[in-house]
Amino acid sequence: MHFSLDIPADVLYNVKEQRRSSGGGQNLGFVTGAFSFLLKPCPGCKTHRWCALMMHGKKDDRLKGKSDMLKREGEVRIPSGCAIAGVFARDGRNICGDTIVRSMTTMHDRSNGLGGGFAGYGIYPQYRDLYAFHVFYDGMSCREETERYLDKMFEVVNLSRIPIRKSPKITNEPLIWRYFVAPHHNRLADSQLDEKEYVARAVIKINTEFKGSYIFSCGKNMGVFKAVGFPEDVGEYYRLDEYEGYSWTAHGRYPTNTPGWWGGAHPFSLLDYSVVHNGEISSYDANRRFIEMYGYKCSLLTDTEVIAYIFDYLIRRKGFTPAEASTIVAAPFWSTIEKQDEARRHELEYLRCQYSSLLITGPFSILVGYEGGMLALNDRLKLRSMVAAEKGKTTYFASEECAIRMMEPDVDRIWSPKGGEAVIVELEGK
């Protein structure tokens, strides 16, 4: 016969501490003897364990709020936490946002409800030539101050609240507004900047200097939708079933070192670039110091933010192709470079030496969305999962195959990209 301890949690906690401090299992006899008057039969248990902690899957009222005290760091872990998914129609056909939301439901346990988000491309065809600003506000005074600045710097063609469905699963919402804007012609000319740099600087200024305001999406004909919550609930909250686009990415967050808050949810975006990421960037500090020398500001309390700025810097400002940019952030090992032909070896050596501070180390799988394309990339050792598939002219990516099967059960081809090997898909004719 096995027994369970009907002991108040605080007493049990003290007993376990005594047992731990005196070296382990030899104290079981002491515990059994000292509390024998509290022992009662525990039917159904077949293995010897502390049933008082398990309660056959049910928490006793006296354990509520206290049982977590018994857990120690490392006792509960979700390997490879965070989920990513993407779908891209190379022929430019429209895909309903519900498709990508549905894929995330199968990876629910890779998130913990502290962040979910999506990025869609081609979703604003009626405003395709305007920048779509999605903005979080802490309150009305923040909104009024930011709108005065937007009116000064841009022609605001349309503004409104972003449509949502109220949900008890999404709480503590900020004010969420949307603006379709174009730079004022005279101010743009006076700035002597190209249009995209003008917009990027205005966005960075608001996000770093306007307290309580945060522009989390600012590209053309695309938009980011994110919140604190599970991704499927976030998709329902933003009514993504009412949007259509040729490209979608998604993220379910399981934060490891940073807090769960609305701004810290993925995707992270600047202009047309958006990034979702599963992993941990051990090179963050070196990456951040380099990128901030060029006017970017990392202020969102997560390592992923810097990846979005790196791709914007390399592709938009330095003119590299997405393939070349991926070679910089996931540079081949020196042993691999040495095996290349002379021309390729010199090219890789130059990129690795010149942009060594933009090498991203640590485990990661990322999806980078941009105008007319999507890039999927693993770290060089492939320490995070990523699966790719094709069906006709549509390409799918996800942390797990099941998420792809939710979007397309009968794929033509499915494979696992190699570490450091970028998979790039773009619109036909681009």
Annotated catalytic sites, by residue? Answer: 82
388, β-bridge pairs: 397, 415
- Encoded amino acid at 353, one letter: C
Two tokens, residue 90: 């190379």
Distance in angstroms (rounded) separating the CA atoms of residues 234 and 183: 31
Distance in angstroms (rounded) separating the CA atoms of residues 129 and 147: 21
Residue 220 Rama label (left phi>0; alpha psi -120 to 50; beta): beta
* Stretch (H or E) spanning 291: helix 284-292
Distance in angstroms (rounded) separating the CA atoms of residues 181 and 112: 35
Give the residue among 301, 310, 317 at the shortest CA–CA distance from 331.
Answer: 310
Q: What angle do CA 253, 257, 261 make, to 5 degrees?
A: 50
Peptide bond into 259 cis (omega under 30): no
Q: What are the CA-CA distances from residue 247 to residues 100, 269, 396 (Å)?
A: 10, 15, 10
* Helices 342-354 and 322-329, packing angle to 10 deg: 70
Distance in angstroms (rounded) separating the CA atoms of residues 120 and 374: 11
What DSSP state is assigned to residue 330?
T
CA-only gyration radius of the chain, Å: 25
222, β-bridge pairs: 121
Distance in angstroms (rounded) separating the CA atoms of residues 162 and 225: 10
Distance in angstroms (rounded) separating the CA atoms of residues 24 and 358: 48
Question: Cβ(176)–Cβ(134) under 8 Å?
Answer: yes
